[in-house]
Amino acid sequence: DASAMQWLPASATKGLKYPYLFTQSQAIHARSLMPCQDSPGIKTEYTARVTAPKWCTVLMSALADTDKVTEGEKNVFVWKQPNPTPAYLVALAAGNLESREISHRVRVWAEPEVVESALFEFSETEDFVQAAEELTGCPYQWQRYDILCLPPSFPYGGMENPCLTFATPTLLAGDKSLADVIAHEIAHSWTGNLVTNHTWDHFWLNEGWTVWLERKITAKVRKNEEFGRLSSQVGWKHLQDDVKLLGETNPFTALTWKLAFGEDPDNAYSGVPYEKGANLLMYLEEVVGTELFSQFVFSYIDTFKFNTVTTGAFRDHFVSFFDKLAAAEAETNTTPTKSNKKKKNKNKNNKDKEDGPSAAAANAVQAIKGLDWNSLFYSTGLPTDVTSFSNSLSKAAEDLARKWIALSATYKTDAPPAGCSATDLEGWSTMQKNVFLETLQNYTKKSLSHPSDVFTAAFLELMDRTYSFGASKNAEIMLRWQTLCLESEAEWIVDPVVDFITSQGRMKFARPLYRLLRASTIGKQIAIDTFEAKKDIYHPIARKMIAADLRRAAEAEEKEAIESQLEAEAELSSSAAKVDTTPVVTTVETESDDEAEVVPQKAPEEVVTAPTAFAVGTPEATSKGLSDQTPAPMGSPDRSITPDFSTPAATPTVTPAATPAKIATPVAPAPTPAKEPTPAPTPVATPAKEPTPQATPVATPAAKEATPAPTPVATPAKAATPAPTPAATPAAKEPTPAPTPVKEATPAKVAPAAAPVAAAPAPVAKKEDAAPQRRPVATSHEVSTFSWSGVSIFVALAGAVGFGAFFFTRRFRR
């Protein structure tokens, strides 16, 4: 029942033949998987040894250390992550998997039925990685970048597990139009995985930077700066929606949080750290100029790589970088070196040119002095210093939407607006179509008080005949199209909506559509019945969230009924005015999409039965849109998961393998006192820098059998317990190490207590070195055990020992 794991029965996979397992550790689920210091500020290298049935391919967020070895009826996989990584980035997946090469370091993994589509969809991955290397000035440090396309129940868009990004199958749009999610996960290879937020209070440093970099990557690869602004515009709407949902004064709408001790970081999750974080970086870029900001990015990554960073450290580094730059340039300009003299003479009449660079740095320093850092980091609500997103791409979409809106007012004939036709959207990106549909949504929302202004079903049918949104294979477009139609109460959209939300379990799509269906007059009961009948197909986290959404809707209805009754009674007797009708305060949860979802704190225990498949075998089942995609399963399993694989048997045992207890990167102190931006801790030493050659990147298809499974690492005094459990299964595939960054997975919130280990979520501000203060926790490697129908997977997570050793080292050192 580890909250980090989701066990899927064969019926929930595309192939329908074998079960499937995947983990999701962010933010604080790693503790349910292994003994560890489950805080992002603590990093360590690790090794792992996994035993699985022969049919099964095992993948981890690490490099294959040796070829797969057969031991009896099972295969043994050995993994090694040579870079220091935090526990939340430890991931494992196992199932009937195949791979295809994209480049010397990039490969896609998926079930055989989906692998070709994944290969096509993610074919630009190597270009993205190269673009990120250029933008950060830092070579890719994880050796392999593999992508695992998960089953449809994956509740998130992606998760940036090092060497092996986990991705939702809803990205398989058939036209590479959703590849920006992969750009996001790739960006995490630098911002998040290499430079990590010191505690979850500073989550914006992971996600804000990653969104910023993701947009730079896509703009660079597409050779069009407008893409970045277009994406920012769509992101801005997301931010507005989330701030509205949370409330403008909600402390979690500030960039830097102050999570209480023991509080689940997912409680704070929303689009805020992503979009508000990216907005701050865009603003700073504007303040100092793009050219100088690029230099700062190089310095930031180089300074903090393999380490962690706090908000204060970020600010201090930013300030000092420009101070030094200005000083150096001033010196260059005033020191009469030979070459300088020459230059000066040469440019005697061109002072501007001569002083250009140093003046720019000095100007930047001046501008930085005017920044109100406290406000930037700690103010709640929408940011005030926002860069303009205006761009030609969104303007075209908004103009077209306005034509349709104008037509809707006088709509009589069954013809599109003058000059409009199916070719309007030709060449448009997904983002542009999103802007078009969101512009229409904004209009209908505003018109709700004038129901006659809302689009009619016939009008929407005309739009669909013109642009075929209902037949789109793109899940993002499907979401917005169905949202628009539901808000307009077009009855014929109900069936497609039901198809869509039962064919994949990504929370970004399922949750809002369930809520809208429930709120509509045309689908209220259908929403309730559909969930009741299909809830087992969802990942436990998604199931819990949708159930909570529906419950809240019911409660709100009830409350409203009571209030109106009270009002009526109050009217009857004027003296009743004193009746206390204070409404119960309900907590609002953001609907974070892809990334981490806000999981209701104490969700009612639900008995989870094994998920039954999404419309796996029936591609067409999905609404016209996603036909044969398999929605990806999301990472974070819920505590309530009950793996119910029929086979009683074998329980794979995870055994901590040898673990090199290394000390990972020193963590920067995480100060973040209340207001003041905390003094920036300077990260310091970065242990493992160079990529370690070693990795055995690729999997070797051909099975190499029989190699004694070497246990890579030395095992310190602890006994590594290799626990091979033989479960033979025919056909074996080989795993290949695959690094993969994922999008933003946000781990579901977990019940705090998961594991035996003390890991602590975000420590409270002001404690420097919060980590060391934690209780020591189990260092002994406890063995986690999970079972999988008759098979056992035996994972030796040396990392467990490593984390423990790191902890003690730090603790006793001080």
The answer to whether the beta carbons of residues 200 and 759 sit under 8 Å apart is no
Nearer to Zn ion, 438 or 744 (CB): 744
Window contacting Zn ion (CB under 5 A); options: 203-211, 327-335, 372-380, 415-423: 203-211
Q: Tell me phi and psi for residue 640, to 5 degrees.
A: -80, 10
Nearest-angstrom CA–CA distance, 497 and 476:
13
Q: How far is the CB of 299 from Zn ion (least distance, A)?
A: 22
- Count of residues in contact with Zn ion, rule CB under 5 A: 3
Structure tokens at 366: 């001046």
Residue with token string 């930077």: 209
User: Strand, coil or helix: what is 159?
Assistant: strand
* Least CB distance to Zn ion at residue 779 (A): 31
Q: Is 514 a catalytic residue?
A: no
Query: Is 198 annotated among the ligand-binding residues?
Result: no
Strand partners for 56: none
* DSSP-assigned letter for residue 785: B
Comparing CB distances to Zn ion, the nearer of 111 and 207 is: 207
Contact 503, 621 (CB under 8 A): yes
Residue 742 C-beta: closest distance to Zn ion, Å: 8
- Quick one: CA torsion of 587, 592, 593, 597, rounded to 10 degrees? -70
Stretch that binds Zn ion, among 201-209, 389-397, 458-466, 614-622 (CB under 5 A): 201-209
Residues 147-166 that bind Zn ion (CB under 5 A): none
**Closer of 203 and 227 to Zn ion (Cβ):** 203
Alpha-carbon span 94 to 202, nearest angstrom: 32
Give the C-alpha distances (Å, rounded to integers) separating 465 from 70, 174, 458.
57, 21, 10
User: Interface with Zn ion by CB under 5 A: which range of 121-129, 208-216, 413-421, 468-476?
Assistant: 208-216
49 annotated binding-site participant: no
Distance from C-alpha of 519 to C-alpha of 540, rounded to nearest angstrom: 23
Distance CA 413, CA 416 (A): 8
Has 155 been labeled as part of a binding site? yes
Site for Zn ion, residues 678 to 717, rule: CB under 5 A: none
593 contributes a contact to Zn ion by CB under 5 A: no
Shortest distance (Å) from residue 331 CB to Zn ion: 40
- Pick 593 or 769: Cβ nearer Zn ion: 593
Cβ proximity to Zn ion: between 193 and 394 the closer is 193
Q: Which of 71, 121, 124, 185 is catalytic?
A: 185
Of residues 67 and 207, the one with the C-beta less far from Zn ion: 207
Strand partners, 23: 5
Among 210, 590, 655, 672, binds Zn ion (CB under 5 A): 210
Is 606 an annotated catalytic residue?
Answer: no
Give the three-state DSSP class for 148: strand
Half-sphere exposure of 654 (CA within 13 A, CB side): 23
For residue 507, say whether it is annotated as part of any ligand binding site.
Answer: yes
159 labeled part of a ligand binding site: yes
Compare residues 188 and 518 and give the one whose CB is closer to Zn ion. 188
What is the chain's length? 814
* Among 256, 322, 312, 247, CA closest to 284: 322
Whole-number minimum distance, CB 191 to Zn ion, in Å?
A: 9
- Shortest reach from residue 269's CB to Zn ion, in Å: 11
Closest CA to 194 of 266, 284, 133, 269: 133
SS3 259: coil
Q: How far is the CB of 58 from Zn ion (least distance, A)?
A: 25
158 has binding-site annotation: yes
- The SS3 call for residue 23 is strand
Distance CA 163, CA 739 (A): 1
525 in a known ligand binding site? no
| Residue 25 counted as an annotated binding residue | yes
Is position 6 annotated in a ligand binding site? no
Which one among 499, 549, 744, 769 touches Zn ion, defined by CB under 5 A?
744
Which among 46, 88, 145, 274 is annotated as catalytic? Answer: 274
Does residue 670 contact residue 812 with C-beta atoms inside 8 Å?
no
Instruction: Output the smallest distance, CB 157 to Zn ion, in A.
Output: 9
Q: Per-residue contact track with Zn ion, 795 to 814, x per CB under 5 A?
A: --------------------
Q: Is 156 annotated for ligand binding?
A: yes
Which CB, 193 or 640, lies closer to Zn ion? Answer: 193
Cα–Cα distance between 275 and 269 in angstroms, integer?
Answer: 12
Measured in whole angstroms, how far is the alpha carbon of residue 434 from the centre of its chain? 20
* Residue at shortest CB range from Zn ion: 744
- What DSSP string runs through 405-463? HHHHHH--SSSPSTT--GGGGTT--HHHHHHHHHHHHHHHHHGGGSGGGSPPHHHHHHH
Is 504 annotated in a binding site? The answer is no
560 is in an annotated binding site: no
Question: Which residues lie closer than 8 Å to 368 by C-beta, 6 or more apart?
Answer: 287, 288, 318, 319, 322
Kindly state the smallest distance separating residue 743's Cβ from Zn ion, in Å.
Answer: 6
Distance in Å, CB of 765 to Zn ion, minimum: 23
Cβ atoms 657, 716 nearer than 8 A:
no
Nearer to Zn ion, 42 or 742 (CB): 742
CB atoms within 10 A of CB 7: 23
**Which one of 443-451, 514-522, 689-697, 741-749 is the stretch in contact with Zn ion (CB under 5 A)?**
741-749
The DSSP symbol for 743 reads: S
Q: Which of these ranges, 502-510, 552-560, 596-604, 739-747, lies near Zn ion under the rule CB under 5 A?
A: 739-747
Closer CB to Zn ion, residue 26 or residue 627? 26
Query: Applying CB under 5 A, which part among 204-212, 476-484, 633-641, 695-703 lies near Zn ion?
Result: 204-212
Contact partners, residue 395, CB within 8 Å, separation at least 6: none
* Residues forming the active site: 185, 274
Task: List residues binding Zn ion (CB under 5 A).
Answer: 207, 210, 744
Q: Which residues are annotated as a binding site for a peptide?
A: 24-26, 155-160, 506-508
Known binding residues are 24-26, 155-160, 184, 188, 207, 506-508
Binding residues for Zn(2+): 184, 188, 207
